[in-house]
Chain A
């Protein structure tokens, strides 16, 4: 029979960390929900009035930004699957004994601060910068051509910044595929295309799903790329939340928008988690 002490051991182990997560992750979410239902302003103070107006006002005013965030996030995610899948495939099947070296190269951007990487792209793409300047002088681009401040720049930046998060889980799924399965398919007279579509692709889907989760969430809630690479027509919901919280200090509407973003993303995440099992997603997320 297990003693009381043995039964309490796991609780003693999780207590400090669990408490930290409860106070600084779970409680704040509830506080934010409460804040979103308050009315008032920063000078006179806020009072809880169970005021749904912040949600109605916010969604009406920032409808464009919400839709744009989801569209940009989706576009970046699709681009990352298309760009990343062949890379993950090649490293998994052809990387031989240098797989870890290739993965390391894919992860290199993470050794440079996220903000700095994005600013580097701003240097590269600026109107008179090292890329566009010479091309325009050579007459290869029209005089008024620009990339910065266009949706393409923001989506490109998002795709760049989160690509390793897409390649990594896809690689993990592809690497687990037993090469003998491919041989078996070919022995059974499947063509290369059939083998790919009916063996490799289905077995890689968990990795793609995990990659989507790990890139869509940060991409659609980002405001750094839209601020650094975008213009006034490319602002996303993240820009709205940041602005309302830290500059305008209109907390109820900021909290309402933040809560709306969370709700939209949570629905998606839990649909995924149900389809995959929480453990699998966590495991891939930890790599």
Chain B
């Protein structure tokens, strides 16, 4: 029997139309990175050129903003990756008093409106007189990423068999050796997935960064700042390169997963 209730190609065509709608702005972004625009506003097509790829780093502030974004994302990935994985391991492996409270706080952090988290942190920093900048952005990004990493790692931990760790201990491994040689390799796919999620969340974040950045500028903040005066094509090129990088990593993951299954 045919799986599902509906016959014909209607739904398939519909699905492709929705996917097309989702991809349209990406296509526009990539296309206008090749636009030979002369004015400040890069909104009408004026011919094909590669020159913006050659002049990619000619706007100093923009380059600095991109560098800031990448640095913040890497720091967030490492810090939230470690702290979130430890929480995920504790929640997936142990039953302990306070686990429900921690889960509730994480749930609140995941479902809280970004603007409320940003506004709260901004309130804290202005009340304490902490100058906002690069470190406060990292603090904020780690804060909202921890829960996502923890939930991802917890899901992985819960699928694991504890008998392997018991076997390691029976064979004379101490706690640290068991963790390093048995537990960590087993949960590593979860840790990697969670850390990559943290990187992705960090590099794309606008709202919370807007509230905690002070005068430091990240890639999304720089774009936001020039919205009204015209966006240079270099932004499109950088967006295209980030998109291509993400695409390569994701496709690589899918192929690797296929190969493991085969």
Taking Cβ atoms with an 8 Å cutoff, the residues of A that contact B are 7, 9-11, 13-14, 16-18, 20-22, 24-29, 31-32, 34-35, 83-84, 86-87, 89-91, 93-94, 100-102, 104-106, 108-117, 119-124, 126, 128-130, 133, 160, 163-164, 179, 182-183, 192, 195-196, 200, 213-214, 217-218, 220-224, 227-228, 238, 241-242, 245-246, 251, 254-255, 258-259, 261-262, 265, 269, 273, 278-279, 281-283, 285-286
Contacts and interface: CB of A to CB of B under 8 A. Distances in A.
Contact of B113 (A128, A218, A278): A218
B108 to A, nearest CB: 8
B176 interface: no
A221 B124 contact: no
B24 A124 contact: yes
B195 interface: no
Interface stretch (B47-55, B56-64, B148-156): B148-156
A282 B110 contact: yes
Nearest to A88: B15
Contact of B107 (A7, A86, A223, A282): A282
A203 B114 CA distance: 30
A238 to B, nearest CB: 5
Interface string B73-95: 00000000001101101110110
Contacts of A217: 111-113
Contacts of A179: 3-4
A30 to B, nearest CB: 9
B220 interface: yes
Interface in B105-124: 105-117, 119-124
A106 B42 CA distance: 27
A93 B44 CA distance: 42
B11 A20 contact: no
A17 B11 contact: no
Nearest to B205: A114
A28 B204 contact: no
24 contacts: A14-B86, A20-B142, A28-B120, A28-B123, A31-B123, A86-B15, A93-B5, A100-B257, A108-B23, A109-B23, A109-B25, A111-B242, A112-B26, A114-B204, A115-B220, A120-B24, A160-B21, A164-B22, A195-B5, A217-B112, A227-B227, A241-B115, A245-B119, A258-B116
Q: Which 8 A-B pairs have the closest CB atoms?
A: A120-B25, A93-B4, A28-B120, A17-B83, A221-B113, A286-B151, A111-B246, A13-B90
Interface in B138-182: 139-140, 142-143, 146-148, 150-152, 155
Given A10-B94, A14-B102, A86-B11, A112 B123 contact: no
A282 B15 contact: no
Contacts of A83: 18
Contact of B146 (A7, A11, A20, A222): A20
Contact of B119 (A25, A111, A128, A255): A255
Q: Chain B interface secondary structure, helix, strand, loop or mixed?
A: helix
Given A25-B109, A35-B123, A112-B25, A258 B84 contact: no
A100 B254 contact: yes
A262 B112 contact: yes
A182 B227 CA distance: 51
Contacts of A192: 5-6
**Interface size of B as a range:** 35 or more
Interface of B: 1, 3-6, 11-12, 14-15, 18-19, 21-26, 28-29, 32, 42-45, 83-84, 86-87, 89-91, 93-94, 96, 98-99, 102-117, 119-124, 126-127, 139-140, 142-143, 146-148, 150-152, 155, 200, 203-204, 206-207, 210-211, 219-220, 223-224, 227, 231, 235, 239, 242-243, 246-247, 250, 254, 257
A26 B108 CA distance: 10
A278 B123 contact: no
A160 B22 contact: yes
Contact of A228 (B89, B150, B227): B227
Contact of A24 (B98, B139, B207): B139
B113 A265 contact: yes
Nearest to A278: B107
Contacts of A278: 103-104, 107
A108 B115 contact: no
B224 A245 contact: no
Contacts of A109: 22-23, 25-26
Contacts of A241: 115, 119
B165 to A, nearest CB: 13
Contacts of A218: 113-114
A221 B239 contact: no
Given A18-B87, A113-B220, A282 B120 contact: no
Contacts of B250: 104, 111
A47 to B, nearest CB: 12
